[in-house]
Amino acid sequence: MEATAAPFSSIVSSRQNLPSSSSIRASSPASLFLFQKNIANGNRKFKPPRSLPVRASSTSDSVTLLDYGAGNVRSIRNALRHLGFSIKDVQTPGDILNADRLIFPGVGAFAPAMDVLNKTGMAEALCTYIENDRPFLGICLGLQLLFESSEENGPVKGLGVIPGIVGRFDSSAGIRVPHIGWNALQVGKDSEILDDVGNRHVYFVHSYRAIPSDENKDWISSTCNYGESFISSIKRGNVHAVQFHPEKSGEVGLSVLRRFLHPKLPATQKPMEGKASKLAKRVIACLDVRTNDKGDLVVTKGDQYDVREQSNENEVRNLGKPVDLAGQYYKDGADEISFLNITGFRDFPLGDLPMIQVLRHTSKNVFVPLTVGGGIRDFTDASGRYYSSLEVAAEYFRSGADKISIGSDAVYAAEEFIKSGVKTGKSSLEQISRVYGNQAVVVSIDPRRVYVNHPDDVPYKVIRVTNPGPNGEEYAWYQCTVSGGREGRPIGAFELAKAVEELGAGEILLNCIDCDGQGKGFDIDLVKLISDSVGIPVIASSGAGTPRHFSEVFEKTNASAALAAGIFHRKEVPIQSVKEHLQEERIEVRI
C-alpha cells in the first residue's frame, strides 16, 4: 500500500513545517562532522567511507522516495508501482536516515535543489546515509548533486560526496545541447544494476554532466560518449546513481530499477555486443487530440491541418483513443510519445481535464518520454481568475508529462523579442524553461511554405527550394502560423527558431502545414534550414509516408528525431518497420 502521508514536496511548500537542521538525529554524527569538515576545508580528496555497519537490505516491498517538488516524479512513482513496490515519501531528514532503500530522482536545476536540501537538513541526512553505504539510487540531478559543485547558475556547492565539478556540455564542440535522447553506455565495472543494459540504449535528458577524472574513477561504473566521455553512472558499495532516466528508458530502464530493488537477482541476459554505440535517432509517435462533435476526446489527424472528414457530416476524423494508442505505440517501440491538444489555443487547458486524465493514465504504463502541448499560455478564466502558464505546465508535469510543447505563445514571444531585443523573462517559454530547465520545453512550429521569385522579396530568411513553386518560383520562405495554422504571422520559421533558442527552448518540433498528412516525405529543405541554424535538437515532422522518408530526413539533414502520426494511426507502417529500415541503412536507432 502506498504511504498516505504527504510527500516532502508538499512540506517544502509550507515552510513553517520545516525541520531545523539542528533537530536532525544523524545516525553517525562524528563521521558526518569529519566528512563535512573535510569538504568545508576545501579538501577535495574524497576519503572512502568508513566501514560502518551496513543495514541489511530489507525484504519489504516499499521504497523511500525523496521528492522535493521540483518536477515530474510521477514517472518514477509509476515505474516503482509497476514493479510491485509501494512508496514512502520522505517528510523529515529522519526518514532518509531510516530508509531501507532510498531513491532520489533529482529534477529541476542544481541551485534550487541544493537550497531546499540545505534548508531542510536533507543534505546532511543524505551525506550520512550515503557514507553509511545504505542502498541509494540517485537519478539525473540526483547523481549530479553528489559532486562537489556545479557550474549551473553557479558555481553552486553540492553534497561533495564524489570529487569533481558538474559542468555544461560544450556546444562549441559541435554537439546539440541539451543532450536529449537514447544513448549507449560503456559499462566499466560490474555495477549490478546495469546487468541487463549491456549495449542497449537508455534515455538521457540533461545539459550538465560530470566528467571522469583520476579523483573520481573509483566511483564510475559507466561512461557515455556525447562529444566527450561523461559519467553516466556511479557505484560504490550500495550507493548507485545514474545520469540517465531508468523510468523513461523502456523495459531496459525498468530492469535497472528492478535490480536496485532486488540486489540479489541473477543476471538474466547476456549484454548484447555491437549494437548501441552513440546517440540514436529517435522515432516519435504523435497523437493530435481533440474533442469530437459528440464530446469524446479522440485522436484525430489532419490533412494539411484540416481534421474533418470530407463527407456530408464533416465529422472530426476519429482514429482511436489516446491512452490506448499511446500504450500500443510504447509496445511497438516508439522512442517518445507526443500529445498535441490541437484545440487548446481556444480553450483553457486546465479546464480540459480529459487531457490531464489522458496523461495520468498513459504514464502508468508508458515508460518513455511524454510530451504534451496545446494552449500553454497565461490565461484568465470567466470568473477573472488568472492562471500563469507556469501553473498550467506544473499541472501537466504533475500529471506525467516530461516535456511541454508551446506553439502559438512562443510565436508571440519571439515576435516581441525580435522587435525589442529584450528578454522580458515573462513569456511562457522563458518562465517554464527557467523553472523546469530548457530540456523540458519544446517549441512547436507550424510553418507554411510561401514561394517568392527573389530572395529580397521578403524580410525573412529565404532559401532556394529543391522543387520550384507552381509558377516556377525558385525561392521560398516559411511563414509561421498560430492557432492551429489559422493565422499567418510576420515571422519566418528560421527567425522563430533562432529567437526561441535564445529564449530558452530546449528542442524544436518542426511541422510543415504543406506536408502534413500528405505521406510524400518530410520537407527536407525546411528541416535542413532549421536543423543547421540552431544548436538544440530538431524533430522533423509532417509528411512521413514510408520508412524511406525517415532515412532520407536523417541522411540529408541534422534532425535528431523524426515524428509521424497518420501512418502509425492508420497502421500503414509499423514503428518497428521504420526502425528496421533505419538499421539497414546504418542509422543508429534504439531497438
Active site residues: 140, 245, 247, 288, 446
Verify binding: residue 543, ligand 1PR, rule CB under 6 A. yes
**Residue 56 falls in which region: left (phi positive, over 0), alpha (psi -120 to 50) or beta:** beta
Among 198, 333, 369, 373, binds ligand 1PR (CB under 6 A): 373
On whether the CB atoms of residues 482 and 345 are closer than 8 A, the answer is: yes
Among 232, 405, 431, 479, binds ligand 1PR (CB under 6 A): 405
Q: What CA–CA distance (Å, rounded) separates 500 from 407?
A: 11
Verify binding: residue 260, ligand 1PR, rule CB under 6 A. no
Among 32, 340, 429, 435, binds ligand 1PR (CB under 6 A): 340
Verify binding: residue 71, ligand 1PR, rule CB under 6 A. no
Q: How far is the CB of 12 from ligand 1PR (least distance, A)?
A: 30
Beta bridge partners of 286: 338
Among 565, 573, 575, 582, binds ligand 1PR (CB under 6 A): 565
Closest by alpha carbon to 437, among 200, 121, 74, 107? Answer: 107
Q: What CA–CA distance (Å, rounded) separates 432 from 504?
A: 9
* Residue where the block lists cell 492562471: 387
Among 131, 402, 446, 514, binds ligand 1PR (CB under 6 A): 446
Q: How far is the CB of 503 from ligand 1PR (least distance, A)?
A: 15
Binding window for ligand 1PR (CB under 6 A); candidates: 76-84, 187-195, 449-457, 558-566? 558-566
Closest by alpha carbon to 465, among 521, 541, 529, 510? Answer: 529
Q: Distance of alpha carbon 459 from its chain centroid, rounded?
A: 35
Among 101, 301, 581, 590, binds ligand 1PR (CB under 6 A): 301
Q: How far is the CB of 373 from ligand 1PR (least distance, A)?
A: 5
Grid cell listed for 383: 470568473
Verify binding: residue 444, ligand 1PR, rule CB under 6 A. yes
Q: How far is the CB of 421 from ligand 1PR (least distance, A)?
A: 24
Verify binding: residue 503, ligand 1PR, rule CB under 6 A. no
Among 542, 551, 557, 560, binds ligand 1PR (CB under 6 A): 542
On whether the CB atoms of residues 156 and 111 are closer than 8 A, the answer is: yes
| Nearer residue to ligand 1PR within complex by CB, 255 or 371 | 371
In sign, the C-alpha dihedral spanning 470, 471, 477, 482 is: negative
Verify binding: residue 589, ligand 1PR, rule CB under 6 A. no
Radius of gyration of the chain (CA): 24
Verify binding: residue 342, ligand 1PR, rule CB under 6 A. yes
In three-state secondary structure terms, 242 is: strand
Binding window for ligand 1PR (CB under 6 A); candidates: 44-52, 117-125, 384-392, 559-567? 559-567
In three-state secondary structure terms, 72 is: coil
On whether the CB atoms of residues 202 and 249 are closer than 8 A, the answer is: yes
Verify binding: residue 105, ligand 1PR, rule CB under 6 A. no
Beta bridge partners of 203: 182
Closest by alpha carbon to 114, among 103, 126, 102? Answer: 126
Binding window for ligand 1PR (CB under 6 A); candidates: 14-22, 122-130, 232-240, 367-375? 367-375
Q: What CA–CA distance (Å, rounded) separates 539 from 509?
A: 5
Q: What CA–CA distance (Å, rounded) separates 339 from 352?
A: 13
Q: How far is the CB of 302 from ligand 1PR (least distance, A)?
A: 3
| Nearer residue to ligand 1PR within complex by CB, 187 or 450 | 450
Q: How far is the CB of 428 from ligand 1PR (least distance, A)?
A: 9
Q: Which helix (H) or strand (E) holds 12?
A: helix 8-13
Grid cell listed for 192: 549490478
| Nearer residue to ligand 1PR within complex by CB, 177 or 356 | 356
Verify binding: residue 552, ligand 1PR, rule CB under 6 A. no
Binding window for ligand 1PR (CB under 6 A); candidates: 92-100, 123-131, 173-181, 402-410? 402-410
Q: For the chain, what is the total number of helices (H) and then of strands (E)?
A: 18, 29
In single-letter form, the type of residue at position 425 comes to G
Q: Distance of alpha carbon 24 from its chain centroid, rounded?
A: 34
Q: Which residues would be at the binding site for ligand 1PR (CB under 6 A)? A: 286, 288, 301-302, 305, 307, 340, 342, 344-345, 373-376, 405-409, 444, 446, 484-485, 511, 516-517, 541-544, 564-566
